[in-house]
Amino acid sequence: MAKSGPYLRTAEVARRLGVSGKALRLYEAHGLLRAERTSAGWRVYGPEQIGRLHQVIALKSFGFPLGRIAELLSGGLPDLATFLEMHEHVLRQESKRVDHALRLLSAARATLAEHGSLSSDDLMNLTKEIAMTDKRNDDVAAVYQAVATRHFSSTDQATLAANGYGGMDKADADWEALHGEVARLMKSGDPSSPEAMDLARRWMGKVFEATGGDPALTRKMRTVARETHEQFAFAAAPSPSNDDILDFVGRAYGAAIAKGIMPEPDDAARSILSSSSNA
């Protein structure tokens, strides 16, 4: 929660936050902010509204349109302390990206000054490293690491790494294929279908492989996944949302257990790991 403080009029808030009064009214029109009113009808902003404004302006700086910001805020972003932590991680990643870009540009300028031109290879490499850098990947990595650090101990991290799990911010063809498959199956809306239950078996097999079948670590992994998907860098994913995917897989997993296709969770970990090692 933001610290207590005075209530400020629109002009003072606009001046101190570097936005216009028109922008504040636009945020209100989109349902992003609700100013309080004095007895004379003047808009005023207290600590709660200032905290909200920080979130709105930060999300806007990350490239989200106002309509999407409204969706994110209505879904419940983290408390202010957590949000500031996430924001700090994102900015640190962006700082590293900018520093790297500046070093490349300085090197290119030095080459140009010495030789009078840049080769096509030099220009293509420069374009690839700077103009085509995917800033969102940096944001995703920062957000995941912040959430993972809160839940995984150093021992947990070592176990996951030893089992070949790099984290939600790393590309993984198997996980990408599973996400695509579950998105397709969700269109039928039946988590108890044979296809859905088989997918749940393979999905949970990947989870148990990463956690070594440790029930406590498996629960932590589920918590990290849900919290990470709630954050702004992951929330830009196209529909269906990752939360919907996790819920669908959970229902399919429950259906598979109910029909005896899979054993109860703790035993399932040992069973799947055993069958994987014998394959």
Q: Quote the mean pLDDT of the chain.
A: 78
Query: Which alpha helices (H) appear in 75-134, and where do they start and end?
Result: 80-115, 120-126
CB distance 156 to 211 below 8 Å:
no
Report the alpha-carbon distance of residue 234 to residue 145 in Å, rounded. 13
Pick the CATH number of 8-74 from 1.10.1660.10, 1.10.1740.10, 3.40.718.10, 3.40.50.300: 1.10.1660.10
Q: So what's the pLDDT on residue 210?
A: 92
Residue 190 tokens read as 């039946």
Enter the tokens of residue 28: 């209100």
Tens of pLDDT, residue by residue over 166-204, are 888 776 778 878 888 888 898 888 999 999 999 998 998
- For the chain, give every residue range classified as CATH 1.10.1660.10: 8-74
- Say how far residue 116 (Cα) sits from the centre of its chain: 44
What's the pLDDT tens digit per position in 46-100? 988 888 888 888 877 766 678 777 877 776 555 667 767 767 777 777 787 788 8
Each residue's pLDDT tens digit, 115-142: 888 787 777 777 766 654 555 555 667 6
The pLDDT score that the predictor gives to residue 239 is: 43
pTM tops 0.85, yes or no: no
Q: What are phi and psi of 168, to 5 degrees?
A: -70, -15
